Chains A and B, each alone.
Chain A
Amino acid sequence: MRVLIVEDEPKLAALIRTGLRKRGIAVDHAGNGEDVLWMAGSTSYDAIVLDVMLPGIDGFEVCRRLRDDEIWTPILVLTARDAIEDRVEGLDGGADDYLTKPFAFAELEARLRAMARRGREPRPTVLESGDLALDPAARTVHRGATGIELSPIEFAMLETFMSRPGRALSRLQLLEHVWDNEYENRSNVVDVYVRYLRAKIDEPFGTDSIETVRGIGYRWRGNG
């Protein structure tokens, strides 16, 4: 396993490096945000350990830029800032985990391994399909520059579609992802909401994102 440590305090960086190397983890070090962007782009690390208070661009911004560059390396934010707002900002900005200083090496190592297992699959913070964009953290949907108002159910259904592009989803699958066990009325509610969704995201724009799959359910075609 090879990780990139981003830490501006040289002493702490050296210690983390020593500690992780002892555990058989290869460690590179970057002292500022700019370096991270090219290093993470040119080497495929298994994980990045990122400090927030960095000279130049800060850790949260580094995180966002990496994700914008479609670098999906798992990121663990290691910081002295532990306020809830900070954690939320970090995680919504595309970080995968959060650990506050001071930390124990055993925990740092375990978290790095857990993140490395998840791999570098794209995990965009904003789902995009054609000119349609859905931001789960901000709970906003845009088609081009036009904002679209969705109810919570419609939003959840669109999120389900957009995170599984090109796959045929049965009515049962959609039900399971959007409604919880409390919901009993399982008649044609999926069809009703697909109709609502089409009326909001497709009809006004002359697009056809949701394809009907005869006998099964629906498929997200996206750029339709």
Chain B
Amino acid sequence: MRARIAAIPIRLRLVLAFAAVMAVVLTAVGLFVYERTDANFDARIERELAARLAAVVAIVRDDGDDLGDPVQDPLGRVDTEGDVQVLGPNGVVDATSDELRQEPLLTHEQVQGLLRGRVGHVDVDGPGGHMRVVAQRSQDDGVRYVAVVGASLADHDRTLAALERLLLVGGPVALLISSLAAYFVAAAALRPVEAMRRRAARISSDEPGRRLPLGPADDEITSLARTLNDMLARLEAAIERERRLVADAGHELRTPLAILKAEIELALEDDGDEERLRSALHSGGDEVDRLSRLADDLLVLARADDGRLPLRPERVAIARLARKVATGHAAHAGERAITTDVPASLDAEIDPLRIEQALSNLVENAIRHGDGEIVIGAARRGGRIELAVSDAGPGFPDELLEGATERFARAHGTAEGGAGLGLSIVDSIAAAHGGTVTVANNESGGAIVTISVPAVRRQTTAPEPS
């Protein structure tokens, strides 16, 4: 049932709900008005009948006549229109306002019912039409009699019938008109939504600059459009980032490929020279390594973007990890020393391979772009472990400090090597651990990059997409 209602278009649903409420309200108002009108009439007739009864009793008393005498005239004075009868003790009509009508207005049982107070009045269809009749017991000079007075209900009936007709016809008409109005109001209210839908249907990644129209009013629909536009802007930025990454990756692949192609072409040209061939193959091998590293890096970044950078956290002694990184790079650091500055007791719950990769990237950067001694340091700060790699070189150029962890970010004038992916991989690894990376220059001017990760891994934390 709920599903069936949900399947009705919202415009129709609004109108149906409105119509239902409107029908209840109209019915209630109609019934109320009808009842009030009826009650008003009843009260008036009640008062009229009471006044007449009193008049009849007064006439009978003042008349001084015996009841046996016809008192037609005096009774007629009460109300020529009304019906008045005076009944003797045996129920015989003693006097009546209309000589022609000697028939009792009421049956004996009806009179008894009235006198005993079982009912307040009786409605009868007498010869004078529909009328309401009341009776009262009284006595004059020791003679008991019953005064019976009737009043026509024609007015009452006519008015109520007219009112009923009015309500039965006017109610549905009012319902119909207001429902139609509700339909158009709903349609007007939903028009901005339709405009948004039409524009949204035309927005594609080909024209990412397009936005949904904002209405002039500051209402829910405008704020929805604004929210959706913000979302579009974020998606556009993400698409743009992705596009740039792909383009940059393409350019990065071209240099090693150009070297490979040149090597092969030249090697093919000087046939026979084994020494030359051997060196070409060595060089080609290096370039293939460079291409594979680039491919690996891009893969890590793509996974990190999807939040799927797999982590295998375990309790790791940081000092040993740092020493491993230091010795691993000692060979190509030349004469520059790589030292570690890590408390022996320090350990943390991290993925040793990923953190090693991050530290390696940092040391690699320090070897390539920095100068002087390279220090791998670590310390505990509250619930976090801070791992830092610093050197005594010229530090990061100012223009690079801001976006150093962006992909393919490279200092202007960096001559050799490096696709500019190292730091963004460090950033992704830190983010996967729920941590951050800070890029700075220390007091002596050398570069210092700090990775800050929680010392204990929370079980429930999913790696945050960077």
CB <8 Å contact, A56 and B259: no
Cβ-neighbour of B412 out of A55, A100, A101 (below 8 A): A55
Stretch from B98-106, B199-207, B261-269 at the A interface: B261-269
Taking a contact as CB atoms under 8 Å apart, the answer to whether B269 and A15 are in contact is no
A31-B416 Cα distance, complex, nearest whole Å = 11
Question: Are A12 and B259 in contact, CB atoms less than 8 angstroms apart?
Answer: yes
Q: Once the chains bind, are A8 and B283 in contact (CB under 8 Å)? A: no
A80 sits at the interface (CB 8 A): yes
Q: Is B165 an interface residue when CB atoms closer than 8 A count as contact?
A: no
Contact of B265 among A12, A100, A101, A105 (CB under 8 A): A105
Q: How far is the CA of A26 from the CA of B257 in the complex (A)?
A: 25
30 CB contacts below 8 A, A to B, read A8-B415, A8-B416, A9-B255, A9-B416, A11-B283, A12-B258, A15-B259, A15-B262, A15-B266, A16-B262, A19-B262, A19-B265, A22-B266, A22-B270, A32-B415, A55-B415, A56-B412, A80-B251, A80-B252, A80-B258, A101-B254, A101-B255, A101-B257, A101-B258, A102-B257, A102-B260, A102-B261, A103-B261, A105-B262, A105-B266
Choose among A11, A18, A32 the residue with the greatest number of B CB atoms under 10 Å from its CB.
Answer: A11
* Minimum CB–CB distance for A31 against chain B, Å: 7
Residues of B bordering A, CB below 8 Å: 247, 250-252, 254-255, 257-263, 265-266, 269-270, 283, 412-416
Instruction: Tell me, rounded to whole Å, the shortest Cβ–Cβ distance linking B166 to chain A.
Output: 77
Min distance, Cβ A103 to any Cβ of chain B, angstroms: 7
- The verdict on A104 contacting chain B, using a C-beta distance below 8 Å, is yes
Which residues of chain B are within 8 angstroms of A9 by Cβ–Cβ distance?
A: 255, 259, 416
Q: Which residue of A lies closest to B280 (CB)?
A: A15
Which residues on the B side are within 8 Å of A16 (C-beta)? 262
- What is the interface of chain B mostly: helix, strand, loop, or mixed? helix
- Flag if A55 contacts B257 (CB, 8 Å): no
| A198 lies within 8 A of chain B by Cβ | no
Tell me the smallest distance from the CB of A186 to a CB of chain B, in Å: 45
Residue of B nearest to A81 (CB): B251
B262's contact among A10, A12, A32, A80, by CB below 8 Å, is which?
A12
Q: Would you give the shortest CB distance from B320 to chain A, in whole angstroms?
A: 36
User: A84 contacts the other chain (Cβ, under 8 Å)?
Assistant: no
Q: How far is the CB of A207 from chain B (nearest CB, A)?
A: 43
Instruction: Given A10-B416, A12-B258, decide whether A83 and B263 contact each other with a Cβ distance below 8 A.
Output: no
**Binary per-residue interface labels of chain A (91-104) against chain B in the complex, 1 for a CB within 8 Å, 0 otherwise:** 00000000011111
A108: nearest residue on chain B (CB-CB)? Answer: B262
A100 to B, closest residue via Cβ: B254
Q: What is A's interface to B at a CB cutoff of 8 Å?
A: 8-12, 15-16, 18-19, 22, 31-32, 55-56, 80-81, 83, 100-105
B412 cross-chain contacts in A, Cβ below 8 A: 55-56
Q: Known A-B contacts: A9-B416, A15-B263, A81-B251. Give 10 more (CB < 8 A).
A: A12-B258, A18-B266, A22-B269, A55-B414, A56-B412, A101-B258, A102-B261, A102-B262, A103-B261, A105-B266
The distance from the CB of A109 to the nearest CB of chain B, in whole angstroms, is 11
Q: Is there contact, CB below 8 Å, between A83 and B262?
A: no
Interfacial chain A residues near B255, Cβ < 8 Å: 9, 12, 80, 101
Docked Cα-Cα span, A32 to B415, in Å, equals 9
Which residues of A are found within 8 Å of B266, using beta-carbon distances? 15, 18-19, 22, 105
A31 nearest in chain B by CB position: B415
The distance from the CB of A70 to the nearest CB of chain B, in whole angstroms, is: 27
Q: What chain B residues lie within 8 Å of A80 (beta carbons)?
A: 250-252, 254-255, 258
A154 vs B258: C-alpha distance in the bound complex, in angstroms? 46
* CB closest chain-A residue, reference B263: A15
Give the Cβ gap from A182 to chain B, nearest Cβ, in Å.
Answer: 34
Residues from chain B with Cβ under 8 Å of A103 in the complex? 258, 261
- For residue B251, which residues in chain A have a CB less than 8 angstroms away from its CB? 80-81
Instruction: Please report the C-alpha to C-alpha distance between residue A15 and residue B254 in the assembled complex, in whole angstroms.
Output: 15
Which residue of chain B has its CB nearest to the CB of A58?
Answer: B412
Residue ID in chain B nearest A9 by CB atoms: B255
Contacts of B257 in A (CB 8 A): 101-102
Once the chains are docked, how many angstroms separate the CA of A208 from the CA of B257? 57
A104 to B269: give the CA distance in the assembly, Å: 13
Least CB distance from A100 to B in Å reads 7
Which residues of B lie under 8 Å from residue A56 when comparing CB positions? Answer: 412-413
The 8 closest A-B pairs by CB, nearest first: A55-B413, A80-B254, A101-B258, A102-B258, A15-B262, A102-B261, A80-B251, A101-B254
- In the complex, the answer to whether B265 meets A11 with C-beta atoms within 8 Å is no
B250 nearest in chain A by CB position: A80
CA distance A140 to B263 in the complex (A): 46
